[in-house]
């Protein structure tokens, strides 16, 4: 009489173990693919020592435009991080001064879902724009 219970118990344990393994794997994959980065995460620029951390500013291109729409930060080097979550394969970006004139920052995004560049802008107000939709704007204000 004990053998049927042992067999059912063994089958149940095997099923629960496989279910736990499947759920754990799905959670690991979901965490691995997560691209969220805190807007002010401390990161190291390539070639910098751990004693000289810089801040990152994350801008996400969505189907509705850039998020956030505005950033204010102090003068100094920072990592400008732009993620393409717009659904478009290609976004041509450019940075310009609010008073006019483009800033020479390489923003080539062809085939990239994530773009990272350490930049150092003088104080002023800048606008990040996309050629594909002029309504996409992110105002970047650099203070003294």
**123-135 residue pLDDT tens:** 999 999 988 788 9
pLDDT band at 19; cut points 50, 70, 90 = low
More confident residue, 94 or 18: 94
What is the rounded distance in angstroms from the CA atom of residue 95 to the CA atom of residue 104? 8
Give the pLDDT confidence of 76-91 residue by residue, as tens digits.
Answer: 999 999 999 999 888 8
Query: What pLDDT shows up at residue 48?
Result: 53
Indicate the average pLDDT of the chain. Answer: 78
pLDDT of residue 8 exceeding 90, the answer is no
Q: What is the DSSP string of 47-93?
A: T--TTS-EEEEEEEEETTEEESSEEEEESS-EEEEEEE-SS-S---E
Compute φ and ψ for 56, nearest 5 degrees.
Answer: -115, 145
Share of the chain above pLDDT 70, in %: 65
């Amino acid at each position: 009489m004990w053998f049927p219970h042992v067999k059912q118990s063994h089958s149940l344990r095997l099923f629960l173990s496989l279910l736990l393994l499947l759920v754990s794997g799905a959670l690991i994959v979901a965490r691995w693919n997560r691209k969220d980065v805190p807007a002010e995460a401390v990161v190291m620029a390539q070639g910098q020592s751990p004693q000289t951390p810089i801040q990152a500013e994350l801008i996400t291109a969505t189907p509705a435009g850039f998020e956030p729409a505005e950033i204010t930060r102090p003068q100094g080097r920072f990592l400008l991080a732009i993620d393409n979550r717009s659904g478009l394969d290609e976004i041509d970006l450019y940075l310009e001064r609010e008073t006019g004139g483009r800033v020479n920052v390489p923003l080539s995004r062809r085939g990239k879902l994530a773009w990272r560049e350490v930049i150092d802008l003088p104080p002023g107000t800048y606008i990040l724009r996309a050629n594909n939709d002029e309504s996409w704007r992110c105002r970047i204000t650099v203070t003294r």
